[in-house]
A and B are shown apart, each in its own frame.
Chain A
Amino acid sequence: MDLLSDLLLGAQTAFSVWNLLYCLLGVFLGTAIGVLPGLGPTATIAMLLPVTFGLAPETALIMLAGIFYGAQYGGSTTAILVNLPGESSSVVTALDGYQMARKGQAGKALATAAIGSFVAGSIATVLIAFFAPMLAEVALVFGPHEYFSLMVLGLAASVVLASGSLLHAVGMILFGLILGLIGTDVNSGEMRYTFGLWSLADGISFVIVAMGVFGLGEILSNLENETERSTVLTKVTGLMPTRNDLKRIAAPVMRGTAIGSVLGILPGGGAMLASFASYAIEKKASKRPQDFGKGAIEGVAGPESANNAGAQTSFIPMLTLGIPSNPVMALMIGALIMQGIQPGPSVIQEQPVLFWGLIVSMWVGNLMLLVLNLPLIGLWVKMISIPYGFLFPAIVAFCAIGVFSLNNATFDIWLMGLFGIAGYVLRKLDCEPAPLLLGFVLGPMLEEHLRRAMLVSRGDATTFVSRPISAVLLILALLLIASILAPQIRAKREEAFQDEE
Chain B
Amino acid sequence: MFRYVFTAIGSAAVACAMSMPAAAQDYPTKPVTVIVPFAPGGASDTIGRLATQIMQPTFGQPLVVENKPGANGAVGAAELSREAPDGYTIMAASIGTLGINPALQEDLPYDPREDMEILTVAVRTPNALVTRPDIEATTAEELIAALKENPDAMLFASSGTGSSDHLTAELFWQVTGTSGIHVPYKGGGPAQTDLMGGHADASFQNLGAIANFVREGKMKMLALAASERSPDFPDVPTFAELGIEGMEVYSWQAFAAPKGLNPAVKDVLVTSITEALKSPQATEQLQKMGFEVLANSPVEADAFVADEIARWTEVIKAGNISPEG
Contact = CB atoms under 8 A, between A and B. Distances in A.
Interface of A: 42-43, 45-47, 49-50, 53, 139-144, 184-191, 196, 198-199, 201-202, 267-268, 317, 321-324, 327, 330-331, 334, 337-338, 340, 342-346, 407-409, 448, 452, 455-456, 458
B68 A198 contact: no
Contacts of B3: none
B289 A198 contact: no
B323 A190 contact: yes
B323 A323 contact: no
A143 B53 contact: no
B34 to A, nearest CB: 12
A344 B216 contact: yes
A330 B161 CA distance: 21
Given A342-B211, A345-B218, A409-B75, 6 more contacts: A188-B325, A267-B189, A334-B289, A342-B215, A448-B186, A455-B155
B160 interface: yes
Given A184-B71, A198-B71, A456-B183, A268 B190 contact: yes
Contacts of B67: 43, 407-408
A53 B289 CA distance: 14
Contact of A408 (B68, B190, B197, B211): B68
B49 A187 contact: no
B197 A143 contact: yes
Contact of A188 (B71, B74, B161, B186): B161
30 contacts: A46-B41, A50-B49, A139-B197, A140-B193, A140-B197, A143-B194, A186-B160, A186-B186, A189-B160, A189-B161, A189-B162, A190-B324, A198-B74, A198-B75, A199-B75, A201-B71, A267-B189, A268-B190, A322-B216, A323-B193, A323-B196, A330-B41, A330-B189, A331-B40, A334-B46, A334-B289, A337-B289, A340-B288, A407-B69, A456-B199
B196 to A, nearest CB: 6
Given A327-B41, A334-B41, A338-B288, A321 B183 contact: no
Interface residues of B, number: 54
A277 B133 CA distance: 34
Contacts of A42: 39-41
Nearest to A323: B193
A455 B181 contact: yes
A53 B41 CA distance: 15
Nearest to A145: B199
Interface in B287-325: 288-289, 321, 323-325
A337 B289 CA distance: 6
A189 B323 contact: yes
A215 B275 CA distance: 48
Contacts of A317: 193
Contacts of B169: none
Contacts of A344: 212-213, 215-216, 218
Given A46-B45, A186-B184, A342-B215, A191 B323 contact: yes
A139 B193 contact: yes
A408 B107 CA distance: 23
Contacts of B78: 198
A340 B286 CA distance: 11
Residue among B41, B69, B71 with the most chain A CB within 10 A?
B41
A135 to B, nearest CB: 14
A456 B185 CA distance: 12
B249 interface: no
Nearest to A144: B199
Contact of B196 (A140, A268, A408): A140
Contact of B70 (A46, A143, A407): A407
B191 to A, nearest CB: 10
B192 interface: yes
A199 B160 CA distance: 19
Contacts of A342: 211-212, 215
A140 B199 CA distance: 9
A346 B216 contact: yes
Contacts of A143: 194, 197, 199
A53 B281 CA distance: 11
Given A186-B161, A345-B216, A455 B183 contact: yes
A457 to B, nearest CB: 10
Given A142-B197, A143-B194, A190-B323, A407 B155 contact: no
A345 B133 CA distance: 15
B40 A43 contact: yes
B75 A201 contact: yes
A197 to B, nearest CB: 10
Interface in B28-77: 39-41, 45-46, 49-50, 53, 66-72, 74-75
B42 to A, nearest CB: 9
A212 B109 CA distance: 29
B323 A188 contact: yes
B40 A47 contact: yes
Contacts of B211: 342
A452 B200 CA distance: 10
A409 to B, nearest CB: 7
Contact of A201 (B53, B74, B325): B74
B192 A144 contact: no
Given A187-B161, A334-B46, A408 B71 contact: no
Nearest to B78: A198
B53 to A, nearest CB: 5
Given A143-B194, A188-B323, A331-B41, A452 B71 contact: no
Nearest to A343: B212
A448 B184 CA distance: 9
A144 B97 CA distance: 29
B266 to A, nearest CB: 25
Given A139-B193, A186-B186, A408 B199 contact: no
A331 B41 CA distance: 6
Contacts of B200: 456
B161 A327 contact: no
A45 B190 CA distance: 21
Interface string B168-204: 0000000000000101111001101110111110000
Nearest to A186: B184
A470 B182 CA distance: 23
